[in-house]
Amino acid sequence: MKWILALFLLGLVWSALAQYDLTDVDEEGDDDVDDNVQPVDDNNQGNRKNPCNFKECKRRGQTCILTPNNKAKCVCREECKIDPVPRHMVCSVKNMTFDSECHLDREYCMCKSMKACSNAEAKKFRLDYYGECKELTRCEDLEMKQFPDRMSNWTYVVMKEMARCHQLDTEYLDLLKKATADDHHTDAILWKFCDLDIRPHDRKVSRRELLFIIASVKPMEHCLVPCLNLDPVHIEDKCKDIQSRRQ
């Protein structure tokens, strides 16, 4: 049960930042850049249906534009907003800092689309974590041992605050009562674990379900990734009753 507590952190940031999906889709589509297309301007479309409303651009860094014959086409973004604010910066898995996630994805898209890419590493660009790249220190044995306790306490505080603001789903109120009665607040961890176990609902939290959480928390908690690299944690049927109540 000890390592279940460590999973708490993975759900904490999700509540505050869940508006973005970090799932890294790396399609090899055939939508290359075309110089004879125009960006979509909804204000000039009048009552005509915009074909881009029905076009899904799957590659990171792409946007939809209209061809001269009014066809929707996905191409790499021409530019990203210049706003060098530290909190908007991101670090790639190649340890390169970008002004924003838009800049990272645009670089990736451009190199995927260009046959003669000047930076072969760009084809492997992917978000590692939010914020400027920094040296992540090693998680020492003692820190790893303390990781579950500090995370469980943190989760419990968040759970109580959400309940106070009436933002906690009613099916979790019973877990909050149990967590309050338990010095280790184990049920607070279970709350977030079940909340994350969605796609797929298989009573375990996969890395795909945790991508956004990892990117958000990694620079602040250097024991997170080492913890995830341990054997996967399975919670048999503990989420079953909660999930059934949500349906």
Q: Do 31 and 62 form a contact (C-beta atoms < 8 A)?
A: yes
Q: What residues in the chain have per-residue pLDDT under 50?
A: 1-40, 42, 45-47, 231-238, 246
* Cβ contacts of 53 within 8 Å, gap of 6 or more: none
SS3 call for 122: helix
Q: Give the Cα separation of 19 and 209 in Å (integer).
A: 14
Check: CATH 2.40.160.60 for 38-125? no
Q: Where are the domains of the chain?
A: 2-19+136-246, 38-125
Integer angstrom CA distances of residue 65 from 41, 227, 239, 245: 9, 43, 44, 44
Q: Give the Cα separation of 223 and 185 in Å (integer).
A: 20
Tens-digit pLDDT profile for residues 140-173: 989 888 888 877 887 888 889 989 999 888 878 8
Q: Do 100 and 88 form a contact (C-beta atoms < 8 A)?
A: yes
Pick the CATH number of 2-19+136-246 from 1.10.8, 3.30.2310, 1.20.120, 1.10.238: 1.10.238
pTM of this prediction? Answer: 0.62
